[in-house]
Structure 1
Amino acid sequence: MDKYKKLISNTIIFAISTFSSKVLVFLLMPLYTRVLDTSAYGVTDLLMNTGNLLLPLVTLGVVNAIIRFGLDREIDKADVFSTGLRTILLGFLILVVAEPFIVPYMGPVLSLLDIQEDMFVQNIILIDAFVLMSSMRSLCSQFIRARGLVRLFAVDGILSTVTTIFFTVLFLVWLQMGVAGYILATICADFLSVIFLFTTGRLHRFLKLRGISRGVSGRMLRYCVPLIPNTICWWITNTSSRYMVVAFLGSSYNGIFAAANKVPALIILVSGIFMDAWQMSAVTEEKGRNKFFTRVFRSYNALIFMTAAFVIMFAKLITKILVAPAYYEAWSFIPLLVVSTVFTCMVNFLGSIYMVEKKSMHSLATAVLGAVINVVLCLVWIPSLGVNGAALASLVTYVAVFLVRAVDTRRYIRMNISYLRLVVNAVLLIGQAVLMIFEVPFWPVWQALLTALMVLLNFKEVLEGVRKIVSRRSSKKAGSRA
């Protein structure tokens, strides 16, 4: 199959999965914000993010190696899956054994984060279960994707949506379990997803109780272990601001900030649909990579900027629809978060080059840079600028990391990036953000004009990407007829 056709085909399939598993759950925001007040939602956000921090530590980041080595045709997939499973189970066992020695000393930290120690202890079993089920689901879903079973991956996304919605309504509305219900809904949905993928994907055939290739296991761990601090650094960049918002402003503001972060998730949604398919093409395609990466990046970049322009323009409307009135203030934090998210998407695309070349240490170095910049700026700007200080810190961080990666990755794949177009797009988007935040006179008119200009500047790039795919498909048909 032609590489462009394969990319668009996988993107469509992943779009079906992502729409069901992320968009519909995203639409549960009105339920979350009405059942949980701003303080409870802020605490829930911190607990879930704490679980996300534990994931790379417990799993040694092995899930990152599943897709990369699983796509390698020369490696036995049973060695890949069994290495991943053993690593996760061993890491979880160490977590459970270590917790009784760690938790008693967490009182001062919990107090700083405005989390009651009794509530944390009561929910620690749920956090453990969340870590285990999330790790297992990631292992199974990434391995299914590595085997090329993208349709099964999509079906799992749809079923996961149904179960998540069911358990959310059950635990939050009917049983009114609050914070615990929010976490438990995710655990139950992940558990059923693991059962479904394990049985329908017949993953038992790839289990090895003994005889796992030490060479494969060693290569996987050498690849993924440097990604542990890499993942932690990105967690710090993306999440540490939440903890500092709580420390400086209180958990209620973090609840509003957490709600505001859900809106830029629309851009992450568009990006994530593509990146799931792109990772497979980036690894498996070897001919004409420079041209291939350049063409795809330009179309991807154009689509992300256009999506961001529309999200900023409709930020108030989206917020009013998605959240309860107590959270409406969140709209004022969205514009800067959207601009930051655009650069996040571009950083992730450049990260795929490190994945292809297995340069995890380079990925780590840039992640450390981002974490340091973000923490320093948050400490300076949150006390003086409030929640928007955290959003601005995130924006500056991702711009800096993008510039460093754009230069560094050229030694591996020389993409022809149009920096002039990139700067113009960024200026337009930042202009939209400023106009929205300060609500300048006639701001809706200015928003519409700038969004229209953004579409005019970028639509051609997206259209050319589509034409590239269509022309290749047409030429292949013509060749077969001849």
Structure 2
Amino acid sequence: MNRSRKFINDIFIYAIGNLGSKLITFLLVPLYTYFIAPDDFGYYDIALNISFLGIGVLSFQLRDGVFRFLLDNEDDRIRKDIISFTCRFLLRSTLVAFAIGLVCLLFFEIRFLPWIVALTVVFMFYEIYIQVIRGLGKNVYFVYIGILTSFLTIVFSCLFIIGLDCGVLGIFYANILSRLLSMCIIECKLRILKRYFRYDFSDPQINREMIRYSLPLLPNALCWWLLGSSNRLFIDHYLGLESNGIYAVAMKFASILETFSLIIYQAWQETAIKQYGSQDKNNFFSSVLYAQMYVFSAFVILVIFAIKWNYGWLVDENFQASAQYLFPMGISVIFFSLTSFFDMGYQCSKETARNLPGVILATALNLLLNFLLIQRWAIWGIVASSILTYLFLFLYRMVDSRRFFRVRIPYAGMIPLGGCLVAGIIYYGVSSIYLQILYVAILMVLLWIAMPRYVKEQLVQVGMAKLRKK
């Protein structure tokens, strides 16, 4: 009970830290769609996804390694070495990024290239900095930096896009400055670098262990980037930047669901690592997955319909066509979330290299499906490809993870997936908003009744505890 309660409590903590940034992204969509042309927004979306790729390559995925090793060690000397090694690596990676950017600037004509490089470097430092905060157990400050960054992003976005009329460049300015400033503010409070960073401090054994853990995650990250971002390149090539802008707007709303998935993943990551050695891990892991299927499916249904009911005023008329893709994108995120659950087997055991075959197969399948389906079904082909790929990876990992833990899902676990099917019929088959609200309300009540009792009890107890604190 205590570990389940802690897991749910961690979800609330990470929700506050993550939802702030995604709520800002949600609120900024009207600003972007009203003041930025679809082709410019489509170009920014591609640049952003290329930056995410650059982050993984330049950092060797140390963002995962630094959290995993800090969480395992409470000795200040070891923590000092982990953080010092990571900082040295990032400084060298920054020089490499600037060198690559300079070469590209001399030989290629790429719009906003200096700002793409700057965005990549700042995002790299920010992502690893917040993982250091998590690894040190400073979860409250993880919440603070998420909220602070979100607030600064919306302030700078309004300043540069509306006030100074910078257009799409204003998005680059806002994201870079907000993260730099928030890192500086939190560093002044925690003084992590002052306490732990020493340029000459090094323990070769720990450094090798971190590289051995993180390096296999690099091709894994490249494959995940292809899974999540290559579809933009297919759309750009076959359909054009305007279609990519429409798809990007739908993805902005789908990212709300991805954020909730990330929240569960972060809370589960911490709990799974600590509970991996427990004698009843199979039962505990099974109960968590079973509960996640219910809670996340219900959340997806509610969010998708809430967005649809407000789409008319949230998005400019040039982007209204993107509403039709929201529901299947939500189904895709459900399978993505279930897939992420099994990722813990590789992390808990530190056998990250075993993760590669499944991800490589899924990536190859995704690229093949994108190529075949986009020419027949346009954006619908991309959406279908995503659902099929994550479903394949979910089934693959469920089997492959038996070497680490064995989960058992009762037949009642199919109920939330059936609820999603019913919700899809309502989404496309019922035109009246009032009837949609009625049917969705009935569906939520039925899912709550079918939900396992222990899940309802834990949710109610933690929720009441939060309210009492307020």
Following the alignment from structure 2 to structure 1, what is the Cα–Cα distance between the partners of residues 357 and 154? 39
Residues 446 and 161 of structure 1: CA distance in aligned 2, closer, same or farther (over 3 Å): closer
SS at match of 2:72: coil
Number of the residue aligned with 1:147:
136
Following the alignment from structure 1 to structure 2, what is the Cα–Cα distance between the partners of residues 221 and 240? 27
> For residues 464-479 of structure 1, what are the structure 2 equivalents within 5 Å?
464-468=454-458
Number of the residue aligned with 1:291:
283
Instruction: Indicate yes or no: 2:303 matched with 1:311.
Output: yes
Question: Residue deviations 1:406-429, cap 9 Å, x none?
Answer: 1111221111123x3444433442
SS at match of 1:71: helix
Following the alignment from structure 1 to structure 2, what is the Cα–Cα distance between the partners of residues 85 and 401? 34
1:339·1:430 contact (CA, 8 Å) conserved in 2?
Answer: no
Number of the residue aligned with 2:468:
none
> For residues 357-436 of structure 1, what are the structure 2 equivalents within 5 Å?
357-418=349-410, 420-433=411-424, 436=427
Q: 2:124 aligns with which of 135, 144, 149?
A: 135
Number of the residue aligned with 1:62:
62
Number of the residue aligned with 1:84:
86
Following the alignment from structure 2 to structure 1, what is the Cα–Cα distance between the partners of residues 345 and 442? 32
> For residues 118-133 of structure 1, what are the structure 2 equivalents within 5 Å?
120-121=110-111, 123-133=112-122
Number of the residue aligned with 1:36:
36
Question: Residue deviations 1:52-90, cap 9 Å, x none?
Answer: 111111111111101111101266111111121111111
Number of the residue aligned with 1:16:
16
Number of the residue aligned with 1:356:
348
Instruction: Give the CA deviation at 1:265.
Output: 2.1
Instruction: Indicate yes or no: 2:250 matched with 1:260.
Output: yes
Question: Residue deviations 1:148-183, cap 9 Å, x none?
Answer: 111111111111121111111111111111121111
Work out the number of aligned pairs and report it: 459
Instruction: Give the CA deviation at 1:399.
Output: 0.3
> For residues 85-234 of structure 1, what are the structure 2 equivalents within 5 Å?
85-102=87-104, 117=109, 120-121=110-111, 123-203=112-192, 204-234=194-224
State, as a whole percentage, how many aligned pairs show the same letter: 26
User: Greater shift after overlay, 396-405 or 74-83?
Assistant: 74-83
SS at match of 1:27: helix
1:60·1:87 contact (CA, 8 Å) conserved in 2?
Answer: no
2:105·2:113 contact (CA, 8 Å) conserved in 1?
Answer: no
Residues 366 and 322 of structure 1: CA distance in aligned 2, closer, same or farther (over 3 Å): farther
SS at match of 1:165: helix
Following the alignment from structure 1 to structure 2, what is the Cα–Cα distance between the partners of residues 360 and 451? 42
TM-score normalised to structure 2 length: 0.91
Following the alignment from structure 2 to structure 1, what is the Cα–Cα distance between the partners of residues 93 and 203? 20
> What RMSD over aligned residues (CA atoms) do the two structures have, in Å?
2.5
Letter in 2 for 1:130: L
Give unpaired runs (5+ residues) of structure 2: 465-470
Instruction: Give the CA deviation at 1:104.
Output: 5.8
Following the alignment from structure 1 to structure 2, what is the Cα–Cα distance between the partners of residues 454 and 154? 29
Residues 365 and 322 of structure 1: CA distance in aligned 2, closer, same or farther (over 3 Å): farther
1:144·1:153 contact (CA, 8 Å) conserved in 2?
Answer: yes
Number of the residue aligned with 1:109:
none
1:309·1:432 contact (CA, 8 Å) conserved in 2?
Answer: yes
1:234·1:370 contact (CA, 8 Å) conserved in 2?
Answer: no
1:62·1:224 contact (CA, 8 Å) conserved in 2?
Answer: yes
Residues 154 and 471 of structure 1: CA distance in aligned 2, closer, same or farther (over 3 Å): closer
Question: Residue deviations 1:306-355, cap 9 Å, x none?
Answer: 11222343453242242111111101111111111110111111112221
Following the alignment from structure 2 to structure 1, what is the Cα–Cα distance between the partners of residues 133 and 282? 28
Give unpaired runs (5+ residues) of structure 1: 107-116, 475-482
TM-score normalised to structure 1 length: 0.89
Following the alignment from structure 2 to structure 1, what is the Cα–Cα distance between the partners of residues 208 and 333? 35
Question: Residue deviations 1:10-45, cap 9 Å, x none?
Answer: 222222222322213321111111111211111111
Number of the residue aligned with 2:4:
4
Instruction: Give the CA deviation at 1:402.
Output: 0.3
Following the alignment from structure 1 to structure 2, what is the Cα–Cα distance between the partners of residues 450 and 22? 24
Letter in 1 for 2:118: A
SS at match of 2:357: helix
Residues 316 and 466 of structure 1: CA distance in aligned 2, closer, same or farther (over 3 Å): closer
Residues 450 and 44 of structure 1: CA distance in aligned 2, closer, same or farther (over 3 Å): same
User: Greater shift after overlay, 97-106 or 262-271?
Assistant: 97-106
Instruction: Indicate yes or no: 2:332 matched with 1:343.
Output: no
Letter in 1 for 2:225: W
